[in-house]
């Protein structure tokens, strides 16, 4: 059975939008300049900057009488209250399940925060398994985390699981580089950005998750003499 691996933040869930909603509320609650939303968004770095760095810088900038732990609690509650899984994403996942694909979430981050997002948004009922880097003790792009995801979906360790597996994600150094070193095909969610990496490339790219899933579902194996390649219906692209 084919396997589809999916990143969580900014792939399945619009994490940056949730951060901006929290940041706007935070500025309003403490009477801070609304124009500082751009500053907070910049230092946030799409979630890849450690929270202690982002929130510690905010505390110093605004001189707030809060501990870092208190602001971290405020942040986690706030961002999770704004996170959601768009209906178009739910529909895409259900289409993949109907088409016979196994689904697994592969996410870097803290176990508690990521699992809360998965459960709060209902994603747990839509996938076969999930792996979070903290609990797995390895992180993308380490190929081991993709292997763990496959095993949690019931794929035997000795199986040639990579041949029928795709990865969808938005972060090139983690998702696409990880897929490359794991030997699996990938779809990069470009979100309007140009590709900038020179050492590797995604198999395909798409503007968002529904389009990416459609590309994957339109793929079918073409067996040649001693090799396997993939064509994607309607694109003329091979990987």
Same domain, 134 and 176: yes
- Is the pTM higher than 0.85? yes
Instruction: Print pLDDT tens along the chain (239 aa).
Output: 899 999 999 999 999 999 999 999 999 999 999 999 999 999 999 999 999 999 999 999 999 999 999 999 999 999 989 999 999 999 999 999 999 999 999 999 999 989 999 999 999 999 999 999 999 999 999 999 999 999 999 998 777 889 999 999 999 999 999 999 999 999 999 999 999 999 999 999 999 999 999 999 998 553 333 333 343 433 333 33
**175 and 90 both lie in a single domain:** yes
Query: Could you give the number of structural domains in the chain?
Result: 2
What's the domain range around 28? 15-82
121 and 93 co-located in one domain: yes
- The answer to whether 104 and 152 have CB atoms below 8 angstroms apart is yes
Domain boundary among 57, 82, 107: 82
Closest of 169, 149, 166, 168 to residue 157, by C-alpha:
149
């Amino acid at each position: 059975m084919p396997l589809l691996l999916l990143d969580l933040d900014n792939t399945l869930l619009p994490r940056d939008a949730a951060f901006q909603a929290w940041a706007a509320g935070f500025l309003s609650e403490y009477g801070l300049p609304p124009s500082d939303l751009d500053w907070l968004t910049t230092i946030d770095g799409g979630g890849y900057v450690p929270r202690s760095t982002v929130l510690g810088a905010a505390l110093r900038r605004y001189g707030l009488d809060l501990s870092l732990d208190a602001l971290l609690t405020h942040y986690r509650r706030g961002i999770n209250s704004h996170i959601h899984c768009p209906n178009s994403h739910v529909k895409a996942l259900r289409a993949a399940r109907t088409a016979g694909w196994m689904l697994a979430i592969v996410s870097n981050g803290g176990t508690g925060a990521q699992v809360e997002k998965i459960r709060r948004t209902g994603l747990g009922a839509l996938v076969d398994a999930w792996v979070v880097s903290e609990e797995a003790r390895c992180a993308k792009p380490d190929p081991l985390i993709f292997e763990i995801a496959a095993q949690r979906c019931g794929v035997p360790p000795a199986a040639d699981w990579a041949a029928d597996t795709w990865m969808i994600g938005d972060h090139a150094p983690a998702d696409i580089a990880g897929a490359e070193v794991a030997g699996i095909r990938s779809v990069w969610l470009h979100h309007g950005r140009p590709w900038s990496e020179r050492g590797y490339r995604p198999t395909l790219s798409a503007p968002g998750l529904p389009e990416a899933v459609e590309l994957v579902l339109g793929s079918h194996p073409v067996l040649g003499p001693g090799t396997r390649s993939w064509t994607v219906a309607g694109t003329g692209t091979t990987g």
